[in-house]
């Protein structure tokens, strides 16, 4: 932990505002909890945040920070004391999540009072997003959607394996219980999984037998990539070709699953499976035009 926060200034969220502090300097320390309390409850006496003109100076930031300790006590340390009993500091990246969450909650309550109470009553999204785990493709952000709009399942390279209970359980719940109408298989350009498969099939030697969880997971995609004509084209084009071929294959895999076939057999004509590619370079979604639906639709 010390090596990770060596360059991070200590800013105590319960510190009082010091009018003499210059922007970019750390606010004088005050414990989040007294030492005896901290030892008893296993909560840290301070957390760490990056100190900069953008974070240390504005009054709005300090106001959110001052209320953050109670949020941390309720949701993190007191609720799960054993899990964090070795912690004396909060990593800056983690602390930033709690600060941002507090700011978001305050903004939502200001603009749409009662949103969270209504959200807690249930969900009825019409879209299921089967996407990649890549951090650059957060479905709610890239579609400007609200909480409750999209039911989500993400994994490495947005694969749909016929024997994967995880994706099958998501499909079952989404179709039979939640009532989604559109299943989106969403790949993306510059996919790390596709890149790994490309390297495997373009190496001088045949791909080795998969022996790791990741290699086994990507084995079907590697096999698919090996069937494509990837010779004499730039790697970037080859990756896009693999991504598009994978999305097409996963759409067929989704259409062949029990939950989807059962829904269609039961007369659910408003259930569609779409193939989409998200382009990192432009931020846009591209429909591949391979939508599958009820045979009679």
136 is catalytic: yes
Q: Is 191 annotated as a binding residue?
A: yes
- Is residue 132 a known part of a binding site? yes
The active-site residue out of 14, 62, 153, 191 is 191
Q: Which is catalytic among the residues 136, 161, 182, 294?
A: 136
Catalytic residue among 62, 132, 153, 292: 132
**Alpha carbons 138 and 150: distance in angstroms, whole number:** 11
Contacts of 179 (CB under 8 A, 6+ apart): 124, 126
Across-strand partners of 81?
A: none
- Which among 134, 153, 274, 292 is annotated as catalytic? 134
How far apart CA 225 and CA 245 sit, in angstroms, is 8
- φ/ψ bin of 156: left (φ > 0), alpha (ψ from -120 to 50), beta (otherwise): beta
191 is catalytic: yes
Q: DSSP state, 240?
A: H
DSSP secondary structure, 106-157, as one string: HHHHHHSTTHHHHHTT----SEEEEEE--TT--HHHHTTPPTTSEEEEEEGG
Annotated catalytic residue, options 14, 62, 153, 188:
188
Are 45 and 90 in contact, with CB atoms under 8 Å apart? no
What would the two tokens of residue 216 be? 């086994």
Binding site as annotated, residues: 132, 134, 188, 191
Binding site as annotated, residues for Zn(2+): 132, 134, 188, 191
Active-site positions read 132, 134, 136, 188, 191
């Amino acid at each position: 932990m010390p090596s990770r926060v060596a360059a991070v200034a200590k800013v105590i969220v319960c510190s009082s505002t010091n009018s003499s502090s210059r922007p970019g300097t750390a606010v004088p320390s005050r414990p989040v909890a007294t030492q005896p309390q901290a030892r008893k409850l296993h909560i840290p006496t301070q957390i760490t945040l990056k100190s900069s003109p953008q974070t240390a100076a504005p009054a709005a930031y300090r106001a959110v920070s001052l209320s953050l300790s109670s949020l941390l006590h309720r949701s993190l340390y007191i609720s799960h004391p054993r899990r964090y009993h070795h912690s004396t500091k909060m990593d800056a990246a983690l602390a930033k999540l709690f600060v941002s969450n507090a700011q978001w909650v305050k903004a939502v309550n200001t603009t749409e009072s009662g949103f969270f109470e209504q959200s807690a009553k249930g969900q009825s999204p019409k879209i299921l997003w089967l996407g990649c785990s890549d951090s650059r493709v957060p479905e709610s952000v890239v579609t400007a959607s609200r909480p409750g709009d999209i039911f989500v399942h993400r994994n490495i390279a947005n694969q749909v394996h016929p024997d994967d209970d995880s994706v099958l359980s998501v499909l079952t719940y989404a179709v039979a219980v939640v009532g989604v109408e559109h299943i989106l298989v969403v790949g993306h350009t510059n996919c790390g999984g596709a890149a790994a498969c490309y390297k495997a099939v373009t190496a001088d030697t045949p791909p080795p037998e998969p022996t790791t969880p990741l290699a086994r997971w990507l084995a079907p995609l590697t096999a698919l990539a090996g069937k494509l004509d990837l010779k004499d084209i730039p790697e970037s084009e080859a990756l896009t070709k693999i991504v598009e071929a994978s999305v097409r294959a996963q759409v067929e895999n989704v259409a062949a699953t029990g939950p989807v076939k059962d829904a269609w057999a039961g007369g659910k004509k408003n259930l569609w499976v779409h193939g989409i590619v998200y382009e990192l370079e432009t931020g846009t979604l591209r429909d591949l035009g391979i939508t599958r639906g009820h045979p009679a639709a």
